[in-house]
Chains A and B, each alone.
Chain A
Amino acid sequence: MEKKLVLHFPPILVDKPMISTLIRDYDLDFNILKAFVSPEEEGVLVIAFSGTEENLDKAVNELKSKGVTIQLIESDIRMIRDRCTDCSVCVGLCPVGALILDRETYEVIFDAKRCIACGLCIKGCPAKAMVSSI
């Protein structure tokens, strides 16, 4: 199974090789979707792990025990429905079809489960209806 996570590393952990240890110890594959160090020197890593369910749970627990804060990706990018004008300019930008225009009602729908948190919609939305807590 696959788990997409947003990991927040406190400054003290930023230079530790945590991910490489993790993938070796728990036999995981990984795909880094986004990585940066914030002005507060907190490390932010958007990553998809795949492996057995048991190993994924163990890996998540290990990260937590070392002081990494974990968010599921779905909760990280949100649509503020009140601001969305249903213009659909985000629909052509989204690389994974997480933003869809219903061709009957012409309402824009955000399918958070498909989102890979690339952030293109945040830059692309004129109404600033797509927001992230990263």
Chain B
Amino acid sequence: MKTIGEINERIQKGEAVVVTAEEIIELRKTVSPKKLAKEVDVVTTGTFGPMCSSGVFLNFGHSRRKIKMGGGKVYLNNVPAYTGIAAVDVYVGATAMPDDDPKNTKHPGEFKYGGGYVIEELAAGKEIHLEASSYGTDCYPNKSLKTKITIKDINEATLYNPRNCYQNYNVAVNLSDKTIYTYMGVLKPRMGNANYSSAGQLSPLFKDPYLQTIGFGTRIFLGGGIGYVGWWGTQYNPSVKRQANGAPVSGGATLALIGDLKQMSPKFLQGVSLTGYGTSLMVGAGIPIPILNEEILNWVSISDDELYAPVVDYSYDYPNSTGKTLGSVSYGELRSGKINFMGKEIPTGSLSSYKTAREIAGILKQWIKDGKFLLTAPVFHFPGPDSKYQFKPLKEE
């Protein structure tokens, strides 16, 4: 019905009709899908939650007396970076933590600082202490180096997150008799609370369940700047069971995202720490969905009341990979503040910020309306449900 080329022409002329995922849901209540599919060009989405599979590639440039950090040791504010690449390239991951962190020796550990915080401080332009040591070679004779850097001083700072934007996610509860400390937050005993982690109706991959418009090279909002979809994400699972409306009943698809950290803002990349678990990074991402036809319009109009998340026990079933889910609840119920589940009224909390997700969808909408952001067709599409591509467990001896 429409092509991305036609939509981009309208964006450039300032004529494109752009609405957020929340706004299309409202419009859909009174306007026919046929009319909306014709009139609306783009629907914007957003999400902002802890995404552990995130990190940044840095290139420091060479010191006068050169050092081969590659294969040596590098610390940024005491947080170790991965050095198994070239001489002055490293990767800092969100969950890295100082070697002397007490971790869970006194459970639950506090995990006061880690890679997620280093990434936030880099994005904020703060000074970072760099310490490197190595073994010395004929071409890289220096064996140790201490200095201070900011993001402006170094060459590249490329955010590359192997897995972001989970299509759907578990609701975590605790069936045991004692409080547990998980990556899904603090869980009180006997289902004292239920934690979820998705922007639901605002979340990008709920709005394009079969990834018809999102693929390799899709231009997106990432951390406050412009980024791209760089591959399908790790643990990608298009073969997941689906609801009648196409939405996966659990996990499903994921995306690898890439972008220039120098463009990004600490407002949309925030270091966080989960008591008893470790550090992570809150990542803000937003993806525009071009309304090419009525089918896509119907997908983007799916509301929280029609999207369901599986409820999983994190005291036994999750750690032991039993695969058991206790049932499912709608995002509408989750977002209301309490769920009625297994005969109990349980207060809910979200790890993902709905307020910031809404803000991201709004910013992306404005960028497109201002003609600053054009849409892209995927360079190629990721494996779909027919591909038999699956998420496998680890084979153990």
Residue of B nearest to A94 (CB): B347
A14-B42 Cα distance, complex, nearest whole Å: 66
Q: A85-B270, A126-B274, A127-B272 are in contact. Are A92 and B348 (CB under 8 A)?
A: yes
Residue A89 CB within 8 A of the other chain:
yes
Residue A51 CB within 8 A of the other chain:
no
> Is there contact, CB below 8 Å, between B195 and A92?
yes
Nearest CB on A from B355, distance (A): 4
Q: Which of A105, A120, A124 has the most CB of B within 10 A?
A: A124
Mask: chain A, 88-112; 1 = CB below 8 Å from B; 0 = not: 1111110000000101011100000
> Is there contact, CB below 8 Å, between B336 and A93?
no
Nearest CB on A from B278, distance (A): 11
Contact partner of B347 (CB less than 8 A), chosen from A83, A91, A123, A124, is: A91
Residue A86 CB within 8 A of the other chain:
yes
Residue of A nearest to B336 (CB): A103
Contacts of B314-350 to chain A: CB distance below 8 A:
335-337, 346-350
Chain A residues with CB under 8 A of B335: 103
Contact partner of B355 (CB less than 8 A), chosen from A89, A105, A126, A127, is: A105
A88-B336 Cα distance, complex, nearest whole Å: 12
> Is there contact, CB below 8 Å, between B351 and A106?
no
Chain A residues with CB under 8 A of B351: 87, 89, 126
Contact partner of B186 (CB less than 8 A), chosen from A85, A103, A105, A120, is: A120
- Range of interface residues on chain A? 20 to 34
> Is there contact, CB below 8 Å, between B275 and A87?
no
- Range of interface residues on chain B? 20 to 34
Nearest CB on B from A36, distance (A): 15
Residue of B nearest to A84 (CB): B353
> Is there contact, CB below 8 Å, between B350 and A87?
yes
Residue B49 CB within 8 A of the other chain:
yes
> Is there contact, CB below 8 Å, between A87 and B352?
yes
> Is there contact, CB below 8 Å, between B274 and A85?
no
Contact partner of A124 (CB less than 8 A), chosen from B186, B282, B355, is: B186
Q: A93-B349, A127-B270, A128-B273 are in contact. Are A87 and B337 (CB under 8 A)?
A: no
Chain B residues with CB under 8 A of A127: 270, 272, 282
User: DSSP majority for the B interface?
Assistant: strand
Q: A106-B358, A107-B355, A123-B186 are in contact. Are A87 and B49 (CB under 8 A)?
A: yes
Residue of B nearest to A120 (CB): B186
> Is there contact, CB below 8 Å, between B337 and A123?
no
> Is there contact, CB below 8 Å, between B48 and A85?
yes
> Is there contact, CB below 8 Å, between A126 and B280?
yes
Contacts of B240-267 to chain A: CB distance below 8 A:
none
Chain A residues with CB under 8 A of B274: 126
Residue of B nearest to A100 (CB): B337
> Is there contact, CB below 8 Å, between B185 and A85?
no
Nearest CB on B from A82, distance (A): 10
Chain A residues with CB under 8 A of B350: 87-89
Chain B residues with CB under 8 A of A88: 349-350, 353-354
Chain A residues with CB under 8 A of B181: 123
Going nearest first, the 10 A-B pairs with the smallest beta carbon separation are: A92-B349, A126-B272, A106-B355, A92-B193, A89-B349, A86-B355, A92-B347, A124-B186, A106-B354, A123-B275
B residues in contact (CB < 8 Å) with A: 48-50, 108, 181, 185-186, 188, 193-195, 270, 272-275, 280, 282, 335-337, 346-356, 358
Q: List 28 A-B contacts (CB under 8 A).
A: A85-B272, A85-B282, A85-B356, A87-B350, A87-B352, A88-B353, A88-B354, A89-B350, A91-B349, A93-B188, A93-B193, A93-B349, A103-B335, A103-B337, A105-B355, A106-B353, A106-B355, A106-B358, A107-B355, A123-B108, A123-B181, A123-B275, A124-B275, A126-B50, A126-B272, A126-B282, A126-B351, A127-B270
